[in-house]
Each structure stands twice: as structure tokens, then as C-alpha cells.
Amino acid sequence: MTTIRLHDSRSRRKVELAPLDPANVRMYVCGPTVYDRAHLGNARPVVVFDTLFRLLRHVYGADHVTYVRNFTDVDDKINAAAQALKAAGDPRSLEALIAARSDETIGWYHEDMDALGALRPTQEPRATAFIAPMIAMIERLIARGHAYVAEGHVLFDVRSYPAYGALSGRSIDDMIAGARVEVAPYKRDPMDFVLWKPSGADLPGWDSPWGRGRPGWHIECSAMSHELLGASFDIHGGGIDLQFPHHENEIAQSCCAYPEGGFARIWMHNEMLLVEGRKMSKSLGNFFTVRDLLDRGVPGEVIRFAFLSTHYSKPMDWTAEKAAQARTSLIEFAEATTGAEAGDPHPDVIAALADDLNTPGAIKVLHDLRKADAKSDLLASLRLLGLMNVKTSADSLGWGPRTREEHDFALLIARRYADLRAGKDYAAADDLRDRAASVGLHLVVTKAMGGQGATAEFAGPFDLAAAREALE
RNA sequence: GGCGGGUUGGCGGAGAGGUUACGCACCGGAUUGCAAAUCCGUGAAGACCGGUUCGAUUCCGGUACCCGCCUCCA
């Protein structure tokens, strides 16, 4: 069996993945807060851990991997969005408005991540469906002396857990010296964080032993991973920006509630997506959504390939140039696999992925396979990476957001161009090509159909009515 | 201020203490009705300063610069 080695953020070294139960390899990845469209940065961990999920399924069997990714639907930004609707006169209850907003956002998320070729995780729990387990875990933490009640809040006592800070390599005292912690009079230690907080009448809340309130951010992942994966599991993933405090707090909660469990064995963190050299983030306002890109005609497959071309542990700058290169490579692979039946992924591709998900190394092998004309190995290898799973070329490489009519029209013109060339009426063919170019349709000869094929690509804005007039 | 990561050829981007990464672009050649594509080939690197070594871009130390976290974030 293939040995998978992964870089463990906690021990800061590459370790061999030795599943607790090879018949059920378990992975938890922090998912989105569902209040708006996912931005491109949100998509990076989705693609990274989807690739790992695919590798695990390949190695251990598709039915022997459990991948859990949560939806955070308890959040002040969602509350704010719902309150704004209510203030605008929406008659529905706050709870109904929040549920509607979450449902809508989850729908968008699925659409957009599907477009990137990401498989749906085995389970996608919503925080609101796990309030009872969260309350139970908080009670357990209080009972074990790791949490305390103060002014309607329940707080985790970081001093009660000596290993606090181990994941992110910092000490409580160092962090306090940094003096950027929230000061609250009811905290025993400035680093103590909220497990439960009170909700006023204008906020969603659940009854609890500490009154009506809502959970803090971190407890949901601890509670849901425990419910769905157990007290210990194999891999926990997320963006590096979650390493502190989110993951540190998860560890503290889970390990104090269930010290015999040990929680996640391997911690993986993907580096950030940059735009113009800066992290894409909500607070910087430099973000655009996956949907923006898809609507601009960048295929999801191109986005995925661009992500895979940089190792997950390195920051990646999103540029138009990178997208163009990804597209070029994908077109080559699409043409190289035309008509092929998928065989097995090439061992070198597996080996590259098994070495801490070395996707750039895997892409190098793809190029080797293409040059060797190993079609079936290449196709299977591409699919293992989540590429070429849909009909390729036209649909996946640029025509996606076009309407059916535009698509059909482009095919018609390409067909006509190919026919003219086949009839050696080059003057008419060239004329058609020039006129097509003038309305934004790029006609190119392809090797399909014995060298008699042609394809049409949309190059920028396209006006179907004007094109019809010019070409028919 | 504390902690963590990075710096590779024109650009993107890996591995490995000594033998071609790879892709894009460029250049030369082949092929082609024209465009494009394709094929073959050449060249080009590892921030800076020290150390270890027969040999370092690869290990160790330092310097500079960049980025991230410490505040919602993937």
C-alpha cells in the first residue's frame, strides 16, 4: 500500500500517515461561515483538501474515508444580515431569516465549489444542528475544571491547560506581552476565550444551563468533530490563519474534555492566497469571489489547476498570467486525452501526491505522460487530481458561462470554417475567420477529425445578434 | 513587541549534498495554403555574508528584504 507522508504543523515535520483505522480514515476541515459568496481565498483549502480526500480514497478505498467539513451558521455577520432584513420590514422571524440566509449561502457555496471539481465531503454538518453537543462539551469542561461561568458567559481557562500554545508555538505569557488581547473584567486571564455567550432578544439564542445564549466560535468544531469522527481522528485541516487562535482553542477544548482521545493526529495548514502580494481577506477588502471569476469566463478547472500548480504550503499569488498558463496546460491535456479510456493513475503521480501532496511534482509527471503519449494513464492521473472529470474542451475550458444559443452558434461557425478548409476554399475560409475575429470569435484549426477539425473560442465580449448579422 | 513562514533562471514553480525538474516566454531548426498549433533543439537559477564538506542552491549560523498570525478571516 502507498505510504502517505504529510507535513504536520504541530510537530513541524513530515510524518507518515498511519490511520487509526485504515477501514475508516477520518479528516476534519474547517469550512466557511455562511453569510456571503465564497471568495477565492476560501477556495484554496477546498481544493487542497479535496485533492487529499481523493488521494485517500484512492489509497484506502472510496468507502473507507470520512471527510467532514462544517458550515458555520452561528455568526454575528449572519445575524447582522438578518437584522438588516428585519429592519427593512421583512415579516419573517429572525430565526427564519437567518436560516434562509444560511440556506441560500450554502447553495451558492456548493455551486461554486462544484465548479472547481471538488467532491462533496462525506458530511457537512451545520453548527446550529449541534448546539446540544456543544452545551454538553462545555458542561464537561466546567466539570473538569477547565472552564468557568462569569457574567452569563462561559470561558475557557487557558491556564488550566499547560500545553496551550503548542500548536502555534507561542506561550501565554508571550502573547500577553504582545498586548493585543481583548481585556474583559470577567476573564481570569486575558487569553481566556468564550465558550458560550448570552444573547439578547434581538439575537438568536438557545436555552442552556447558563441562560439563553449562543456558542463561541471555536466550540463548534470540537463538538462536531467529536460527534462525527470521535475523540481522536487522523487529519485536521484548514488555512494557516486559523492556526491561532481557532485551532489552538479547538485543541484545548477537545483535549481537556476528552484527554484520553488525543484529538487530531496530524494538523495540516494551507498557506494564503494573495492578490497583488497581499493576503486576500475580508478586512482588507481586496477580495473577489469564485463566482466573479466563473462569470468572467475563467473556468473552474482553470482555477483548480492554477491552485494545484503551487504547493499548498506556499503562499500563492493569483494572477491573470497564472490563469492563462493553467488554461494552456489544460488544453494540451484535454487534446492529449481525446478519446482515451481512463486506466490507472500513474505511480509517479501517486508518489508525488503521497509526498505531502506535491501537486507541482504531480503536474510534472502529467507532462511526462503527455509527451510519452500515455493517454489512459494521463487521463486517470488527471482525474485523480480532480481534473477532466467533466466533458473537456469547450464546456470546461471557456464556454461554460455562455448561453446555449451562443455556444451553438460558435459551433456552427467552427463547423462551417472546417468545411470550407476541407473543400480547400481557402479564400472563403480566411474571410470567415477574419469576420469571426471582428465579432470576438477566434477560429482555430485543430487536429480533431483527421486534421479537418476547427474550434471557436470566445475572445472577450460577444454580441450574438451582431455576430449573426456579420456571419450569416 | 512576540511567534511562524518565505527569498530558485525573463516569469511561474519542485525535488535532491555531487548527475536535465517541469511549465510558460525567448532564441534556432522542422513542419504548415495563411493564422494558430505541433515536433526537435540551445541558452538561462537558487537574496547576501560566513561555516561544515573533497564538493552546497540543498546542512548550520548571521544579515537584509517580503509575507502571515497575535482582531472576523481559508
Q: How many domains does chain A have?
A: 3
Residues A372 and A408 reside in one and the same domain:
no
Please give the model's pTM, rounded to 2 decimal places. Answer: 0.88
Cell numbers found for residue A423: 473543400
Does one domain contain both A33 and A89? Answer: yes
For residue A216, is it within any domain? yes
* A107 has a pLDDT exceeding 80: yes
- Same domain for A33 and A172, yes or no, is yes
Which residues are paired to A66 by β-bridges? A26
Q: How confident is the model at residue A447 (pLDDT cuts 50, 70, 90)?
A: low
The mean pLDDT value for A375-379 works out to: 89
State which of A230, A254, A270 marks the end of a domain. Answer: A270
A324, A459: one domain: no
Same domain, A136 and A204: yes
The domain that contains A342 carries what CATH number?
Answer: 1.20.120
Give the residue from A380, A406, A382, A381 showing the smallest Cα distance to A394: A406
Q: How far is the CA of A351 from the C1' of B18 (A)?
A: 24
What is the pLDDT, as a whole number, of residue A182? 58
- C1' of nucleotide B39: residue with nearest CA: A371
Same domain assignment for residues A182 and A52: yes
Task: Using the C1' atom of nucleotide B24, identify the protein residue whose alpha carbon is closest.
Answer: A325
Q: Same structural domain for residues A378 and A411?
A: no
Task: Confirm whether A79 is domain-assigned.
Answer: yes
Q: What pLDDT is stored for residue A40 in this prediction?
A: 93
The verdict on A71 and A174 lying in the same domain is yes
The domain boundary residue, chosen from A235, A252, A270: A270
| In-domain check, residue A275 | no
Distance A89 CA to B67 C1' (A): 45
Does a structural domain hold residue A135?
A: yes
> Which of A270, A288, A321 is the C-terminal boundary of a domain?
A270
Distance A44 CA to B47 C1' (A): 29
Q: Do the Cβ atoms of A45 and A239 come closer than 8 Å?
A: yes
Q: Which nucleotide minimizes the distance between its C1' and the CA of A331?
A: B37
Residues A331, A217, single domain; the answer is no
Interatomic CA–C1' length for residue A26 and nucleotide B71, angstroms: 32
Nucleotide nearest the Cα atom of A363 (by C1'): B22
Determine the structural domain holding residue A80 and report its residue range: 14-270
Q: Quickly list H helices, A337-442.
A: 347-354, 359-371, 375-384, 404-422, 426-438
Instruction: Extract the C-alpha cell encoding A395.
Output: 464546456
Q: What are the tens digits of pLDDT across the range A133-149? A: 999 999 999 999 999 99
Pairing of β A65-69 and β A263-270: unpaired
**pLDDT exceeds 60 at position A399:** no
- Whole-angstrom Cα distance, residue A377 to residue A383? 10
Residues A422-441, mean pLDDT to the nearest whole number: 84
Q: Does residue A215 sit in the same domain as residue A115?
A: yes
**Residues A304 and A453 grouped into a single domain:** no
Q: Tell me the three state secondary structure of residue A77.
A: helix
Q: Strands A232-239 and A25-29: what pairing? A: parallel
Q: Are A212 and A324 within one domain?
A: no
| β-pairing verdict for A5-8 and A13-16 | antiparallel
